Amino acid sequence: MSYVEKNGKFNVKKWNRENVHLEEEIITEEYIELMPEVANALGIIKKEWFKWKSGPLTEPGDIKPAAKELKGWISRWMKQTIK
């Protein structure tokens, strides 16, 4: 299922409905909706990930460690930058 709409924008609400399962905290997206470029950036990350993943130099054994590295890099960046 694609979370990128025909206009190229990442659908945060659709992604959250299918991927976020929090019991204690309900995500309302009130703030993120005011930051549309953030959603677009997530769509770009997803697009680039799938482009790399299906690229001619990507070996099947590269995918899992690369996913871990990318998620770690993004998490570290967010923890250091978004305060």
DSSP calls for 26-77: ----TTGGG-HHHHHHHHHHHHHHHHHHTSTT--HHHHHHHHHHHHHHHHHH
Per-residue model confidence as pLDDT tens digits over 19-64:
766 555 666 777 777 788 888 899 999 999 999 999 999 999 999 9
- Buried b / exposed e over 62-71, threshold 16 CB at 10 Å, is eeeeeeeeee
Is residue 74 pLDDT above 90, yes or no? yes
To the question of pTM greater than 0.85 for the whole model, the response is no
Q: What pLDDT, on a 0 to 100 scale, did the predictor assign at position 18?
A: 73
Q: What are phi and psi of 10, to 5 degrees?
A: -80, 130
